[in-house]
Structure 1
Amino acid sequence: MPSASKVALVTGAQQGIGRATALTLAQQGYDLALHFLDDEAAVVALGEEITALGQRTSRHRADLVDTGAAQRLVEEAFETHGRLDGVVNNAGIFHRATLDELTVGLWDLTLDVNLRAATFVIQAAVAQMRRTGTRGAIVNVSSVAAFGTARGIHYSASKGGLDAMTRAAALDVARDGIRINGVAPGMVLTAQALEGDAREELERIAAATVAGRIGRPEEIAAVIAFLLSDAASFINGEVIQANGGARMG
């Protein structure tokens, strides 16, 4: 039987913003389809926390570099829960490299995971929503790095492309009652942010921002949950900057 609760698929749910988003949505009454790649134990633990909140979960392993796997992920989530009301495209990678260090392989991998996979997850989700007449919502997790970041030409390109795709896809599906928005976090303390950088360096950079601190995954999760909710029913094709004032406008 279809779930009695709304259902959201969260990609990259095992840690950081994805994990915080899944818990926030569960607290708001969603059942969750949890995507992961390589840390099933973390997703099992997350599922137990969500079950304790009274909501259903399912686990879905998929390598989103494979476009077919990205599309099957959506189909599996729908088949498991019998409905799909929201999607959070959170899965992403950032292996830092300067222009001199950048390789074709790293460029392709970064854009495949951060941009191409999100696009085809959306395509599959929209097909399900249209078929069932669901007025659903999709949120893409971008980054302030879309405006440029050190050692991140490939990452900035992927997130800038994600922002453009968000706006274009929103135009395509608006008349179906489906909303597509993005949230662009600033510096948030996650495993991805710590890769290749010492925590002390991140804290020094964050101290120079308006907020004077690093953000928390739960703060980004709250914005994502808002964009999925009916409270954001008149917001479409927007990318909300959630960066503590590090960049305005």
Structure 2
Amino acid sequence: MDGLKDKVIVFAGAGGLAAATAGYLGAGGAKLIVGDISEAAAERTVQVAREAGGEGLAIALDISNEDQVKRQIDLAVKEYGRIDGLFNVAANIHPDEVARDTNVIDIELSAWQRTIDVNLTGYLLTLKHALPHMIAGGGGSVVNTLSGAVYAGMPDKVAYSVTKAGIGALIRHVARRYGKDGVRSNGVAPGLVLTEATKLNLPEEFRDMILTGTPSPRHGKPEDIGATVAFLLSDLSEWVNGQVLCVDGGTSMRP
């Protein structure tokens, strides 16, 4: 993909969507700094970028920990001199945590708070520390990850749904406040994408039910999301700002 050569992109999160995106960015010649709660997962994502033709570094990152977020941003600036893009894809999706996220009556406040700390406060922290460097360099692109859960009205996963909706407001705040500084702020809202985590957390019967209500003949692939994120991080999307792109096979069909 054009418009990515030598761009320095920070990743917060290193799951299946991040790895798919890393492949596109690496092929475009980008330089990645990937952080994840599992440094081994971060290294695997960086390796995808290297094998595609890019380069990068991996670092352990708990996105809810401001000191660790700052350390990742500082590493990017130290090694590459600037930051051109930020991809927030981390989420509180460990199976044990997913099981604790229920509904407004039954959810434990500790489960609610942990999801907010990771899914929403964590995104705030990466923006807080990355944006000054992007602005100093003349601008850049931010891509945050939402979910189709924002629009579906899920009967469970209340904390997950609420935090993903909050990310939408965060996207528009950054676009409106820092657009004149050359910063573009957008998001992707994936539908049901068959990552390894999805296969682990969602029974096949549930996946089949979702597909029945989807205009597309198949579920999403990580590469579907990766291509969209790569476009938003590239110069090809210079006039796209403050938007959330639903990459969901037509499930939501928002105006």
Asked if 1:144 corresponds to 2:143, the answer is no
Q: Deviations over 1:88-123 (max 9, x none)?
A: 001112414322441111111111111111112012
Deviation at 1:195, TM superposition (A): 4.5
Given that residues 207 and 213 in structure 1 are in contact (C-alpha distance below 8 angstroms), is that contact kept between their aligned partners in structure 2? no
Q: Aligned ranges for residues 71-82 of structure 1 at < 5 Å?
A: 71-82=70-81
In structure 1, the partner of 2:56 is 57
Distance in 2, Cα, partners of 1:46 & 1:174: 30
After superposing the two structures, state which structure 1 stretch, 135-144 or 64-73, moved more. Answer: 64-73
2:53 partner amino acid = G
Aligned partner of 1:105 in structure 2 is 110
Classify the secondary structure of the residue corresponding to 1:231. helix
Counterpart AA for 1:213: R
Cα offset, 1:222, TM superposition: 0.8
Counterpart position of 2:24? 24
1:20 Cα offset (Å): 0.7
What TM-score comes out, normalization by structure 1 length? Answer: 0.91
State the superposition RMSD in angstroms. 1.7
Tell me how far 1:86 sits from its aligned partner. 0.8
| Distance in 2, Cα, partners of 1:74 & 1:185 | 26
Does residue 11 of structure 1 match 2:12? yes
Aligned to 1:191: 196
Could you list the runs of 5+ residues in structure 2 that have no partner in the other structure?
Answer: none
Q: How does 1:119-138 map to 2 (within 5 A)?
A: 119-131=124-136, 133-138=137-142
Bigger Cα displacement from structure 2, 136-145 vs 30-39? 30-39
* Secondary structure at the counterpart of residue 140 of structure 1: strand
Residue 215 (structure 1) shift:
0.3
SS at match of 2:239: coil
Name the SS of the counterpart of 2:144 in structure 1.
Answer: strand
**Partners of 1:203 and 1:213 within 8 A in 2:** no
The 2-side partners of 1:34 and 1:28 are apart by 17
Give 2:78's aligned amino acid: E
Q: Give 5+ residue unaligned stretches, structure 1.
A: none
Number of residue pairs aligned between Structure 1 and Structure 2: 243
- Structure 1 residues 39 and 59: alpha-carbon distance in aligned structure 2, compared to 1, 3 A threshold: closer
SS in 2 for 1:60: strand
- Name the residue aligned to 2:174: 169
Q: Which range moved further: 201-210 or 223-232?
A: 201-210
Residue 153 of structure 1 is matched in structure 2 by 158
**Aligned-pair distance for 1:150?**
3.2
With normalisation by structure 2, the TM-score equals 0.89
Deviation at 1:166, TM superposition (A): 0.5
Alignment CA distance shift 1:49-1:235 (3 Å): closer
Work out whether 1:68 is the aligned partner of 2:72: no
Match of 1:239 among 224, 228, 244: 244
Q: What fraction of aligned residue pairs are identical, expressed as a percent?
A: 32
| Alignment match, 2:221 | 216
Contact 2:184 2:240 in 1 (8 A): yes
Cα distance, 1:76 vs structure 2: 1.7
